[in-house]
Structure 1
Amino acid sequence: MKIEPVSPEIGLKGRSAETPHTSRLLGRIWGRVLDFGLILWVVRVPLASVVLGLLLMSAVTQAQDVTLDVAMAGAPVGAAAGLSRTMIALLAAVFLLWAMPVHYAARLLMETDKGIADISTRRNAAAAARGGKHDLIFCLMLRLVPRILGALTFVAFAIGARNAIGNLPTLADRPAMAAAHDQLALLSWVMLAGAPLFYAYTLMRGLFTDVGPLKAFDAALGRRLAGVFAALGIEARPDDPEAELHATGRLILLAYAVLVIVVLAASPHWLARQLPLAFAVPLIFGGWVPVLGYLSSVGRRFHVPILTGLFLLGAVGVYVFGDNHAVRTLTAVEPAYRRTAMVQAVQLWMRANGCAEAPASCPRPVIVAAAGGASRAGFFTASVIGHFLDFERHKQGFSFTRADGSKINRAARDDGRFTPAIEQALNGKDIATRIFAISGVSGGSYGAAVVAAALAARTGSAAPCPDKAPDGWFGGTLAGWRDCLESMTAGDYLTATFFGLAFHDQVQLFLSDRAALLEQSWEDNFARHVLAAGAKASPDSASRLATPFLGSPPDPDRWVPFLVLNGTSVETGQRIVTTNLSPTYATTGRCPSGGPNAECSLFTHAIDFHGLVRSDLDVRLSTAATNSARFPVISPPGSIYQMDTDVVDRIVDGGYFENFGVESAVELAKAMVEIEPRLAPFILVVANDPGSVLTEERTARSGSGVVVPDAPDHAAFTEISGPVGAIGAVRSGRGRLAVATATHWLDARFGDRCPTNLVQIKVWPEAVKDGHCPVGEATPEKIRDVSMSWWLSKPVQMNLHEQLEATADRCNNDTAVAAVWAALATPSLACTGGAPPR
C-alpha cells in the first residue's frame, strides 16, 4: 500500500501557531526555575540551616522533647496550660538567634552576588523594553526567599512541639499528662504565630529605616564603616546603592558573627546555663550562618570552593596533627598495678557484710548490670538502685510529693512486695553493702558512677542531697536515696555537649572537645548536690566525679561497689574495661577464662584500659564513665595515648559490643565462686530498651528460643539502612544472648535450691496508638520512642520512676522487684548448701 506524504500545512494545521507560543512559555518557566535554583544556591548556607532544623524537629525524638521544658515553663508538671514568659523568651530567642541571622545572611548574600546582579540587570532591561520598570517575578523571588527562610525557623519549633505530644508517655498522673499535652499544643501555636510576626517585621523594617533620625543614623553608620564593609566585600553594590540590607543590618550580622567566634573561646557551661536546651537550638543552627555564608560568598566571588576546601583542610590537619579527642588523663594517686585484686575484693566485701569468718553465712552478693541508653539509662539505673537503698522508707510506707504539690501514698513493705520475714532479715544500712559491683554500659556506666560517688559522699546512712529539689527533677522534695540519685542524674548535660559539637569540635585546636564538656557537666551537677547537702555529705567528696578513678581505695566500713565500665575497642572490636579491680587474679581451682591458675584473666578477651596508658596516669571518675558512653555523634571516639604522640587505640561506646553489661557481670560472678565457692552471686539487670523487651517476649513465646522476625514490607535505602539497622540491633541482641547465657550458668549452679538467680527490671513498651501495654499480643505494634539523650524531660522522668510502681497491667516489674528483695535477704548458704571451699 502506498502511503501518501502528509502536507505540512494539513498536518500542522491548528498547531503551527501554538508551538512557538508553547515553547516560549516553557522556556520562560524553565528560566524562572533556573533563576530560583540560582537564588537557592547563593543562599545555600541559610537554606541548609533551616532545612536541618526542620528535619531535626520533624524526625528526632530527642530534639522534639526539648520543647517540653519550655512548654512546662521549667517547673510544675501538673499546671494548666497558659502563656508563660518562658514561651515568649523562646520566641524571642528564635527571632534573634536564628530567624534574623538567616534572613539577614540570605539578604546580604543575594545583594552581594555578581551572578544575581547580572541576571537582575538583564531581567530589568527586558522589562523596560516591554514598557515596565522591573522584572516583578524576579524581584519578588529575591524578596520572598529570605523572608520565608526566616519564618520557617518558627515553623520548625512548632513542628517539634506538636510531635513531642506524640512522644508523651502514659503516666499514672493523668492531670500531669493532660497539662503537658495542652502546654505543648499551646507552644506549637505560639511558635507558629511567630512566622507571620517575623514576616511582618521584614515588611515593616524598611519603613522604620526611612524614619528621619533612623535614616540619618544608618547613613552615618554606613559612611563610618564603609572601609570595613569594603574590605570584607559586603558593601552595597554600585548599581544598587539603596540596598535593602542597610548598614545597620550589616553591622548586626557582623556582630553576630563575632559573637560566634567569642563563643568558641568562652565557657560553654556558662552559656549552657544562659541558653539551656530549646534556647540553645537557635544559636546552634543560626550561629554558623553568618560565618559560613560569608565564606560561601567569597568562594563564589573568586570561583574557589572555600567551604569544601576548609573541610578537606580540616580533615588533613586532624590526620597530620591529631584531633582534640584524647581521653582526659591526670596524675595517678596510686599506680594502676595497685588496684584491688579479685581475691582481696571478695574478702573486703565479706568484711563489709560481717561474714569474713563464715562465708556461707554471707548474703548473696549482688552484681548489677546497667544497660546503655544515655541519660535514660543513667536515670533508670540510679532510680532502681535508689529504690532498694530506701528499704527503711519502704518498711513503713511513705508519701511522695510531686513538683506540683500533689502527694502519692506508698503502702508499707514496698506495696507488699516483700514479706514480714524479709523485713526482719534486712537492715536498711546493709543494703548498699550487698552490692558487690556494677557492670555498666554507656549511660548505665554514668548511672553507676553517680551511685558510687554518692555512696562515697555519705556521712551516715542518709543520701548526700539537699532537701529542696533542683529545677531539673520532676519531684518536689528529696526525701531518700531514690529521690537523691534521680535528681543527680536528671541534669541538663545536653546543651554544653551540643555547644561543643557545634562550635568547639569544628575548630578544635586548644579547645576541650564535647566529651570533656559532657564530663564537666556531670562533675558540676554532682558537686552542686553534695555542697548543698550540708551535714548529710562529706564536703571533700563534692569533687568525687572529677577526682582520680583509682584514688579511693575500698573501705569495708563505708562500702562502695566496684565499677566495671565497658567500652569497645575501635582497633580490635573487643571490650575495653575501665575498672578499679585488677585485671588478673589467682585461684586454686580452674580459671573460668582459661590460662594458668596464677594469672586468671578476670574478663575474657577484654582489654584493660589502664594497661594501655602509663602506670603513673589515671582518669577521672567521670572520664571512666565516658570511656563506656561514647555513642555516635554525641561523643567522639576517644584517643588513648600511651605516650604523648602514640595513639594505641580509640575507644567507643560499650554498646557496640554488648549493650547490657551482663557479659562482664557473669564473669565477675564466675570469678567470685572460684575464689569462694560458698558465695551465691545474684545478678540484677537494669534494662531500659522497650523495643528489646518486645523482642525478648516474642523469643520466649516462640518456645524455641528463636524470635520470629517481622520486617516491614517496604524499606528505603536498604543498602544503607540495612547495615546501620543491623549494627543497632546487634547491641541489644548480644545483650539478650548474654542474659540467656548468664541465666543458664547461674541456674545450673544454684537453681536446685534458689530458682531465681537473675532478674531484669525493665522499661516496658507502650503502643503508639493509645499507650496500652503491647506485650503478649500476636501482632507486634509500633511502640513509642523513649527519648535517649543527655537530658530527660519531666514526663519521661515520671515514666521511668513509675516503672517500679506496683501496677495491675502485665507490663510491670512487680515480680522482679519482689525477687530482688528476696535475694537481698537470702544467705548464700540457702543456695549453695554450704559448698566446701576449694
Structure 2
Amino acid sequence: MRAGSRPANVPLRQKPRGIVSHFWRRILDLTLVLWVVRVPLLSVLLGLALMAGVTQAQDVTLDVAMAGAPVGAAAGLSRAIFSLVAAVFLLWAMPVHYAARLLVETDNGLAVLVARRDASAGHRGIVGRDRLMAAMVREVPRLIGLAPFLAFAMGANAAIGNLPTLADRPAIAAAHHQLVLLVWAMLAAVPLFYLYCVLRGRLTRVRALAALDRVLGRWLKPVFGLLAIAPRRDDAAGQLHASGRLALLFYALLVVAVLVASPHWLAARLPLAFAVPLIFGGWVPILAYLSSVGRRFHVPILTGLFIAGAVGVYVFGDNHAVRTVTADEPAYRRTSLVQAVHLWMRANGCAEQPSSCPRPIIVAAAGGASRAGFFTASVIGHFLDYDRQKQAFGFTRADGSKVSRAARDDGRFSAAIQSVLDGQERQGKNVATHLFALSGVSGGSYGAAVVAAALSARTGTAPPCPTEAPAHWFGGAIHGWRDCLESMTADDFLTATFFGLAFHDQVQLFLRDRAALLEEAWEASFARHVAAAGANAGPGAARRLSEPFLGAPRDPEHWVPYLVLNGTSVETGQRIITTDILPTYAASSRCPSGGPTAECPIFTHAIDFHSLVRSDLDVRLSTAATNSARFPVISPPGSIYQVDTDVVDRIVDGGYFENFGAESALELAQAMVDVEPALAPFVLVVSNDPQSVLTEERTARGVVVPDAAEQSFLPEVVGPVDAIGAVRSGRGRLAVAHAAAWLDGRFGGRCAVNLVQIKVWPEDSAGHCPVGTATPEKIRQVSMSWWLSKPVQMNLHEQLEPTADRCNNRTAVEQVWTALATRSEACTGPTP
C-alpha cells in the first residue's frame, strides 16, 4: 500500500457541506416516517394539546383522582386510578402504537427508503442495516404509544393548579394529594409501556403464543389480504403479528359499535375520564387504515372523505335540526303578559290590590355551561330554603370540625324580615311565589329550566328529590331545595355529549346529534331524581324536562315562574327567545320597546322562536334550554325548520349576543310595569364568570381600565377571536348597568336597591381574593363544560358563605332577603 493511501472500506471524512446534506437527509427521513404515521401521531398531539391547555379537559382527571375515597379522605392509590391507567393503555396507547407499527410495516414507500438506506450503509462499509433509519422505524411508534400517559400526567398536574380554595381545607388537600398520585401513576406507566413494546415481539416467540399467532395468521390471512393489512411479501416476518392486526381490527369494530349503540348506556359504564382514551383512540384504526390505502394507491382518501362529507352536508343537510314535538296548537297555550301578571298576583294573594303585592323577582342567569346551571340552581335554592335558613344549623367538615350557622341565614336577614316572610307563609305564600320569571343564557338557561321543572314537579313545599344524595354530588344527604337543585345539575352530562361529538356527528346519517344527546342526558338525570322522590313528586313529574315546553298549564295555587331563554340568530345576530309568554302585548300608552302600541314587543329587536316553526309544533323543555346553550364545539348550531326542507334560521348560544340575560330581564320588567304600574320588579343577576367580575372591579366612573398582557402570540388571529369572546361578557355588564339605571330611575326614590348581582368571585394563583389590589395577578382558570368536579361544586356552594375578605356575596344576599320582604307599594308610592 502506498503512503498516504487508505483502505478501501474506510470512508473519507465528510466535508461540512456533506454533513449538512446528510443531516438534512435524515430530517427528511424522519419527516417521511412521521407522515406515514400521521393519524396516530395527530391523535396523541391533540390529546397533549387538550390536556396541556384546556381547563375542562384537565378537570376530568379529578373525577378519577377523587373516586378512591370520600371527599376529604386520605389519599391512596385506588382502583379508579389503576382502571384509568389500564383504560389509557388499552383504549389509546395500544391502538396508536399498533396503528403506527402497522403503518410503518406495510408502507411500500417507506420500505423502499429503508432498503435504499441499508444499501447506502453497505456501500460505506457498514455491515447490516442503517441503524439510525431502523431506530426511527422502531422507536417512533413506541414514542407515540407513550404520549397518552404523558398527556394524562400533564392534565392531572395542571388540574392541581386549577383547584379552587375551599373553606373545607382537608377536602382540597385530599384532592391535591390524589391528583399527585395520579400524575405519578401515569408517569410510572411510561416505562412499563415501553418495556411492553420491547418485549412484545419476544412474547410472540414463546412456543405456545407463537403457535397461536401462526394459527391466527392462517385463519385470518384472507381477511388481512382483503383489508390490505397483510404482511408485505418482502417482509413476511414483520414485527406486527397476526394478534396485533386482530386487536386493531377488533378495536375498529368496537368503534363502529359505539356509533350505533346508545351513548347514554356507554356513558353510564365508561365515565368521562375513561371515555377520553376511547374518544382519542377510537378513530385511529379506521383512519390509519384509510391513510395506508391512500398512500398505496396514491389517492388522498382522508381529504376526499372530508370534502365529500362537507359537500354531503351542504347538499343533503346535517343532523342538527332543533328537536320538535307535535302539540295541540302550542302557540295559543302561551300566556299573555297581562294574564301572566294577573296570575302571578293571584298566586301572591294580591290581585285585588296590586300595590300590596311583594316585589316580583326576575332572575337573570348568566351563561357558563354546568357551572352556570349549578350556581343558578344553588342561588335560587338558597332562598327557597327559607324555612331552613331561619333556623340555626350546623354541619361537619372533612377534618371533623363542626361549623355552626346562626339563625336567619347567619344573620343576613333581620327579625322584622322573618316576621314578614312568616306572615306570607301563614297565608300559603312562600319565596317560590315571588319568582315571576327566569331569564337565562346558555348554562343559566339549563339551571332555570331545572328550577322551573322541579317547582312544577313538587306536590307540597318539599323538593322533589330523595333524601339520599347521588354519587356525583359532593354533599352527603339532601336536606332541602338547595341540595336538591344542586344534585340535579351536578350530574355528568358531558360523556354522552362527547361520544356524540367524536362519533355520531362525524357520521351523522340517521344518528342523533350531540345536542340531542345532551338534552336526553338532562332528561334522564332529572327523571332519576324525581322518580326516587316518592310522595314529594307529583304523577308524571319525572318527565317534565322531556314534555312540551308549552304543555304545562298555569296554576296560581302551584306557582311556577315563566321562562325567557335567550339564543342568538345566525342569520341576523339578534336574540331568538324561547318563552312561554306571548311576545307582544297592548301597551298602556307608549310601547317601551318602541314598537306599535297595539302589538308592543316585550323584547326589542328579538325573534320569537315559536314564530319560526309550524303552529302545531313545540319543543321539549330540555330543547328550549338547549336553544340558549349551543356554545362552540360542544353543541352545534341548531337548524330551525319551518317545513320539512325549509331552514329559516340557525340558533346558537345566547352568550354570543349578551351573556347575562339582563337585557331581556330589563325589558320584561319594563313591560310588566307598563301593564301594572303598582308593581316594583326586582332583578337578581346570577353571574358566573370570575374574569368578568375582576374586569368589573377595575371600572372607575363607568370607564373600564384594562390590563392586557405584554406579549400576544399571533395577535392578528388571536386578537379578533379574543375580542369576540370578551364581547359576550362586555355586553352583559352593559345590560346589567342599563337595568340598574332604569330600575333606580323608576324606584330609587323609595327603594335604594332594585338590582343585585350574586357573583362567582375570582381567585389568584395563591387562592387569595385579587379584588382591590393595584395590580391583580392572573386569576385561576375555571372549567366550563357539562360536568363539574366535586371541588368545583364545593367552591360554587361556598360562594354564598360569609368570608372575611372582599370576595363575598354577604351584602347581595342581605339585599335579596330585604327585597323578598318588601311590598311593591314601598317602592312605587310618592317619594317621602
Q: Do they fold alike, i.e. is TM over 0.5?
A: yes
Task: Give the structure 1 partner of residue 789 of structure 2.
Answer: 793
Amino acid of the structure 2 residue aligned with 1:630: R
Task: Give the structure 2 partner of residue 243 of structure 1.
Answer: 238
Structure 1 CA distance, aligned partners of 2:418 and 2:202? 77
Amino acid of the structure 1 residue aligned with 2:164: P
Picking from 716, 723, 730, the partner of 2:720 is: 723
Shift of 1:403: 7.9
What CA deviation, in whole Å up to 9, does each residue of 1:284-333 have, x standing for no partner?
A: 00000000111111111111111111000000000000000000000124
Question: How has the CA–CA distance of structure 1 residues 714 and 310 changed in structure 2, closer, same or farther, with 3 Å as cutoff?
Answer: same
Asked if 2 retains the 8 angstrom alpha-carbon contact of 1:330 and 1:617, the reply is yes
Picking from 688, 708, 712, the partner of 2:705 is: 708
Shift of 1:24: 2.9
Amino acid of the structure 1 residue aligned with 2:20: L
- Where 1:543 maps in the other structure, the secondary structure is helix
Structure 1 CA distance, aligned partners of 2:574 and 2:399? 47
- Where 2:408 maps in the other structure, the secondary structure is helix
Structure 1 CA distance, aligned partners of 2:161 and 2:537? 41
Task: Give the structure 1 partner of residue 4 of structure 2.
Answer: none
Structure 1 CA distance, aligned partners of 2:513 and 2:402? 43
Shift of 1:20: 4.7
Question: How has the CA–CA distance of structure 1 residues 405 and 101 changed in structure 2, closer, same or farther, with 3 Å as cutoff?
Answer: farther
What CA deviation, in whole Å up to 9, does each residue of 1:28-75 have, x standing for no partner?
A: 222221111100000000000000000000000000000001011165
Asked if 2 retains the 8 angstrom alpha-carbon contact of 1:257 and 1:287, the reply is yes
What CA deviation, in whole Å up to 9, does each residue of 1:459-511 have, x standing for no partner?
A: 11001100111111011000000000000000001111111000000000000
Answer with 70-79 or 303-312: which moved more: 70-79
Question: How has the CA–CA distance of structure 1 residues 74 and 505 changed in structure 2, closer, same or farther, with 3 Å as cutoff?
Answer: farther
Question: How has the CA–CA distance of structure 1 residues 495 and 404 changed in structure 2, closer, same or farther, with 3 Å as cutoff?
Answer: farther
What CA deviation, in whole Å up to 9, does each residue of 1:784-809 have, x standing for no partner?
A: 11110000111010000000001111
Picking from 327, 332, 341, the partner of 2:322 is: 327
Question: How has the CA–CA distance of structure 1 residues 396 and 156 changed in structure 2, closer, same or farther, with 3 Å as cutoff?
Answer: same
Task: Give the structure 2 partner of residue 81 of structure 1.
Answer: 75
Amino acid of the structure 2 residue aligned with 1:738: A
- Where 2:127 maps in the other structure, the secondary structure is coil
Structure 2 CA distance, aligned partners of 1:74 and 1:308? 44
What CA deviation, in whole Å up to 9, does each residue of 1:111-153 have, x standing for no partner?
A: 1101111012122233344251211211111111111111111
Structure 1 CA distance, aligned partners of 2:635 and 2:481? 29
Amino acid of the structure 2 residue aligned with 1:750: F
Amino acid of the structure 2 residue aligned with 1:138: M
- Count of residues paired in the alignment: 815
Structure 1 CA distance, aligned partners of 2:229 and 2:256? 19
Asked if 2 retains the 8 angstrom alpha-carbon contact of 1:422 and 1:821, the reply is yes
Shift of 1:522: 0.3
What CA deviation, in whole Å up to 9, does each residue of 1:535-577 have, x standing for no partner?
A: 1112411010000000002110010000000000000000000
Which segments of 5 or more consecutive residues in structure 2 lack a partner in the other structure? Answer: 1-10
Shift of 1:588: 2.5
What CA deviation, in whole Å up to 9, does each residue of 1:725-768 have, x standing for no partner?
A: 11111101111111111111101110010000000000001012
Question: How has the CA–CA distance of structure 1 residues 436 and 405 changed in structure 2, closer, same or farther, with 3 Å as cutoff?
Answer: farther
- Where 1:239 maps in the other structure, the secondary structure is helix
Task: Give the structure 2 partner of residue 416 of structure 1.
Answer: 411
Question: How has the CA–CA distance of structure 1 residues 631 and 75 changed in structure 2, closer, same or farther, with 3 Å as cutoff?
Answer: farther
- Where 1:309 maps in the other structure, the secondary structure is helix
Structure 1 CA distance, aligned partners of 2:398 and 2:468? 11
Amino acid of the structure 2 residue aligned with 1:493: F
Task: Give the structure 2 partner of residue 71 of structure 1.
Answer: 65
Matches within 5 A, 1:32-47: 32-47=26-41
Amino acid of the structure 2 residue aligned with 1:97: L
What CA deviation, in whole Å up to 9, does each residue of 1:258-298 have, x standing for no partner?
A: 11011100000111111111101000000000001111111
Amino acid of the structure 1 residue aligned with 2:266: L
Q: Does 1:106 align with 2:119?
A: no
Asked if 1 retains the 8 angstrom alpha-carbon contact of 2:165 and 2:767, the reply is yes
Answer with 687-696 or 119-128: which moved more: 119-128
What CA deviation, in whole Å up to 9, does each residue of 1:89-127 have, x standing for no partner?
A: 000000000000000000000011011110121222333
Asked if 2 retains the 8 angstrom alpha-carbon contact of 1:334 and 1:551, the reply is no
Shift of 1:401: 5.7
Matches within 5 A, 1:772-787: 772-787=768-783
Picking from 715, 733, 738, the partner of 1:736 is: 733
Amino acid of the structure 1 residue aligned with 2:785: S
Task: Give the structure 1 partner of residue 488 of structure 2.
Answer: 488
Task: Give the structure 2 partner of residue 589 of structure 1.
Answer: 589
Q: Does 1:155 align with 2:150?
A: yes
- Where 1:652 maps in the other structure, the secondary structure is strand
Task: Give the structure 2 partner of residue 766 of structure 1.
Answer: 763
- Where 2:178 maps in the other structure, the secondary structure is helix
Amino acid of the structure 2 residue aligned with 1:777: T
Asked if 2 retains the 8 angstrom alpha-carbon contact of 1:565 and 1:577, the reply is yes
Shift of 1:18: 9.3
Asked if 1 retains the 8 angstrom alpha-carbon contact of 2:802 and 2:809, the reply is yes
Task: Give the structure 2 partner of residue 265 of structure 1.
Answer: 260
Structure 2 CA distance, aligned partners of 1:179 and 1:651? 43
Amino acid of the structure 2 residue aligned with 1:66: V
- Where 1:641 maps in the other structure, the secondary structure is strand
Task: Give the structure 1 partner of residue 42 of structure 2.
Answer: 48
Question: How has the CA–CA distance of structure 1 residues 650 and 399 changed in structure 2, closer, same or farther, with 3 Å as cutoff?
Answer: same
What CA deviation, in whole Å up to 9, does each residue of 1:768-794 have, x standing for no partner?
A: 2x1110101111320011110000111
Task: Give the structure 2 partner of residue 816 of structure 1.
Answer: 812
Structure 2 CA distance, aligned partners of 1:39 and 1:487? 50
Instruction: Say what the alpha-carbon RMSD is for the aligned residues.
Output: 1.4
Question: How has the CA–CA distance of structure 1 residues 75 and 476 changed in structure 2, closer, same or farther, with 3 Å as cutoff?
Answer: farther
Matches within 5 A, 1:463-502: 463-502=463-502
Amino acid of the structure 2 residue aligned with 1:387: H
- Where 1:572 maps in the other structure, the secondary structure is coil
- Where 2:390 maps in the other structure, the secondary structure is helix
Q: Does 1:803 align with 2:799?
A: yes
Task: Give the structure 1 partner of residue 7 of structure 2.
Answer: none
Question: How has the CA–CA distance of structure 1 residues 653 and 404 changed in structure 2, closer, same or farther, with 3 Å as cutoff?
Answer: farther
Q: Does 1:181 align with 2:176?
A: yes
Structure 1 CA distance, aligned partners of 2:493 and 2:595? 43
Question: How has the CA–CA distance of structure 1 residues 81 and 414 changed in structure 2, closer, same or farther, with 3 Å as cutoff?
Answer: same
- Where 2:768 maps in the other structure, the secondary structure is coil
Task: Give the structure 1 partner of residue 115 of structure 2.
Answer: 121
Picking from 385, 391, 394, the partner of 1:396 is: 391
Question: How has the CA–CA distance of structure 1 residues 404 and 668 changed in structure 2, closer, same or farther, with 3 Å as cutoff?
Answer: farther
Q: Does 1:425 align with 2:420?
A: yes
Task: Give the structure 2 partner of residue 215 of structure 1.
Answer: 210
Question: How has the CA–CA distance of structure 1 residues 266 and 402 changed in structure 2, closer, same or farther, with 3 Å as cutoff?
Answer: farther
Asked if 1 retains the 8 angstrom alpha-carbon contact of 2:68 and 2:78, the reply is no
Asked if 2 retains the 8 angstrom alpha-carbon contact of 1:402 and 1:474, the reply is no
Task: Give the structure 2 partner of residue 514 of structure 1.
Answer: 514
Structure 2 CA distance, aligned partners of 1:98 and 1:697? 45
- Where 2:437 maps in the other structure, the secondary structure is strand
Answer with 396-405 or 492-501: which moved more: 396-405
Asked if 2 retains the 8 angstrom alpha-carbon contact of 1:401 and 1:475, the reply is no
Asked if 2 retains the 8 angstrom alpha-carbon contact of 1:329 and 1:619, the reply is yes
Picking from 371, 374, 380, the partner of 2:375 is: 380
Which segments of 5 or more consecutive residues in structure 1 lack a partner in the other structure? Answer: 1-16
Task: Give the structure 2 partner of residue 442 of structure 1.
Answer: 442
- Where 1:460 maps in the other structure, the secondary structure is coil
Asked if 2 retains the 8 angstrom alpha-carbon contact of 1:531 and 1:539, the reply is no
Asked if 1 retains the 8 angstrom alpha-carbon contact of 2:698 and 2:706, the reply is no
Shift of 1:224: 1.0
Structure 1 CA distance, aligned partners of 2:801 and 2:370? 20
- Where 2:487 maps in the other structure, the secondary structure is helix
Shift of 1:181: 0.7
Shift of 1:414: 0.3
Asked if 2 retains the 8 angstrom alpha-carbon contact of 1:366 and 1:681, the reply is yes
What CA deviation, in whole Å up to 9, does each residue of 1:403-450 have, x standing for no partner?
A: 898764322100000000001100465100000000000000000000
Picking from 732, 754, 776, the partner of 2:751 is: 754
Task: Give the structure 2 partner of residue 10 of structure 1.
Answer: none
Q: Does 1:314 align with 2:320?
A: no
